[in-house]
Structure 1
Amino acid sequence: MGSEIEELKKTVAQLQKEVTRLSDQEEVRKLQYKYGYYLDKCLYKEVVDLYADHPDTCVEFLGGRYNGKDGVGRLYIGRFAQAFVNGRNGPVHGFLLDHPQIQGIVDINAEGTRAKGRFRSMMAAGTHESVKDTHPRGLVQWWEGGIYENEYIKQDGVWKIFRLKYFPFWHAEFGKGWSHTKPNYVPFMSKTYPEDPQGPNELCENPMLWPDTRVVPFHYEHPVTGKQVADDDLKAPEYGKDPNTSTPALVLSKPKSVA
């Protein structure tokens, strides 16, 4: 009887651990989805509040890295709010900026304190013709697609965004489509803070934008082979050319601290 009880205790402990892991996965997935809903409506203060208060917290966007909670605020409450909604927190009439968060794959570490997630966004954005003379973007419609490879951290029992890394795969004007996207459609970050008051703390190496089709590295191993994708297979050479002719494979940045 004693051995059976011990086995039952072990089984219960294992099940409790698995339930906690699955619960954490769902909380992280919900966190990312909520990020998208806030971002849709330019609720930038709410977006910033989703981020961890940690020295290694960051956002990587268009070749720039915004470091710490201050940097995160400078991007959303500074750069985005000023560009899209004249500095307010919330939407403005006639401006669309939808960021659906889809295909979420979340993995929790063994300690239950950190997580990694890969998500896709397919954005629709633009202005209504009724505001073309009052909104600084004028009359515009565009599509955007990109991949997130993010990290999350649990602080005081609450999951927060730790390091958000967004790689926009493509942009396209609504009418012409992605085959006719102009080069440098959205310019990469070129100046850092404080030279650019709304700029990143540092610039990232080898940023990508359509028609660059390099693979954003996967945080997870192949579920059957247990292997990572080879570096050469992450590259995107021109058709028929050797991978060595391609821009170097993308590399995901890592936090400096393990705490």
Structure 2
Amino acid sequence: MTKPDSLDHTIRILERRLAAVEARDAVERLQYQYGFYLDNRMWDELAELFCDDAHGPPSIEIGRRGSYTGRDRVREFLVEVLGEGRWGLVTDEVIDHIQLQPLITVAEDGRTARCRSRALILGNSPPGTGRLLLAEGLYENRYVKQGEEWRIERLHWVPTFYTTVGDFDRAVFESAPPSELIPPDVASVPADKRLGRQFLPFHYPHPVTGAESPVPAADA
């Protein structure tokens, strides 16, 4: 028969293991959300994923552009340096960051975590150059649990390579038309003319602000 103290000890071990699994899931989801906002040049939404100064302060470094520390500086880097002052996509613009191979380590106290992952980048930003950017690189990021929510504390991406492939302007954004012989029950949503293609809205609210994310179409 199991002794009560032994059972309590087992329960505590299982609770810690469950907490670690939940933390890894939350950090992985946070990193993927970061990637989707980055794809669409949604700088405000992306900046909100970073922790407050009192819990970090947060910092960001992408490529050889240097590191920016503090929430205000992180936002400034995203909006002005990386985004060059433009929020959202223009017509026919593609800049996909495919998040791969997340290896997440959660600290014993369950309040901080680290993640090494990979990003494969495909893009034509800005469109009209006739070239496809192909790049790959590694992340070494840190995360902190702010209250009950995970936030990014340090985001650091180092490129492995950059290259370009020609004739990307010939890429097709529309798929084949609906079948006339066997028509669909419901027609597809029309393409957003501002983007030049159909855009799937985010199914989740912003994880920090709770706001519904707008379509990332730049005013220009």
TM over 0.5: yes
Which residue is 2:74 aligned to? 72
- Post-superposition offset of 1:53: 1.1
Contact 2:143 2:154 (8 Å CA) reproduced: yes
- Post-superposition offset of 1:5: 1.6
| Helix, strand or coil at the partner of 1:99 | strand
Contact 1:127 1:140 (8 Å CA) reproduced: no
Cα distance between partner residues in 2 of 1:146 and 1:81: 19
Q: Which amino acid aligns with 2:58?
A: T
Long gaps (5+) in structure 1 = 133-137, 177-259
Q: Deviations over 1:207-233 (max 9, x none)?
A: xxxxxxxxxxxxxxxxxxxxxxxxxxx
Contact 2:137 2:157 (8 Å CA) reproduced: yes
Out of 149, 153, 167, which is 2:144 matched to? 153
Cα distance between partner residues in 2 of 1:174 and 1:139: 9
Alignment partner of 1:104 is 2:102? yes
Alignment partner of 1:28 is 2:30? no
- Post-superposition offset of 1:56: 2.9
- Post-superposition offset of 1:60: 1.4
- Post-superposition offset of 1:127: 5.3
Q: Deviations over 1:125-165 (max 9, x none)?
A: 1159xx52xxxxx4332100000000001111110000011
| Helix, strand or coil at the partner of 2:140 | strand
Cα distance between partner residues in 1 of 2:105 and 2:99: 17
Which residue is 2:120 aligned to? 122
| Helix, strand or coil at the partner of 1:51 | coil
| Helix, strand or coil at the partner of 1:34 | helix
Long gaps (5+) in structure 2 = 168-220
Q: Matches of residues 1-259 of structure 1 in structure 2 within 5 Å? A: 4-54=3-53, 55-63=56-64, 64-82=66-84, 87-126=85-124, 132=128, 138-175=129-166
Q: How many residues align?
A: 164
Contact 2:59 2:70 (8 Å CA) reproduced: yes
Contact 2:140 2:155 (8 Å CA) reproduced: yes
Question: Which structure exhibits the higher relative contact order, with contacts defined as CA atoms closer than 8 Å and separated by 6 or more residues?
Answer: 2
Q: Which amino acid aligns with 1:91?
A: L
Contact 2:97 2:122 (8 Å CA) reproduced: yes
Cα distance between partner residues in 1 of 2:134 and 2:60: 22
Q: Which amino acid aligns with 1:158?
A: E
| Helix, strand or coil at the partner of 1:174 | strand
Cα distance between partner residues in 1 of 2:141 and 2:125: 29
| Helix, strand or coil at the partner of 1:42 | coil
Contact 1:41 1:90 (8 Å CA) reproduced: yes
Cα distance between partner residues in 2 of 1:93 and 1:35: 22
Q: Which amino acid aligns with 1:66?
A: Y
Which residue is 1:192 aligned to? none
Cα distance between partner residues in 1 of 2:123 and 2:79: 19
Which residue is 2:216 aligned to? none
Give percent identity, aligned residues only.
29
TM-score between both structures, scaled by the size of structure 2: 0.70
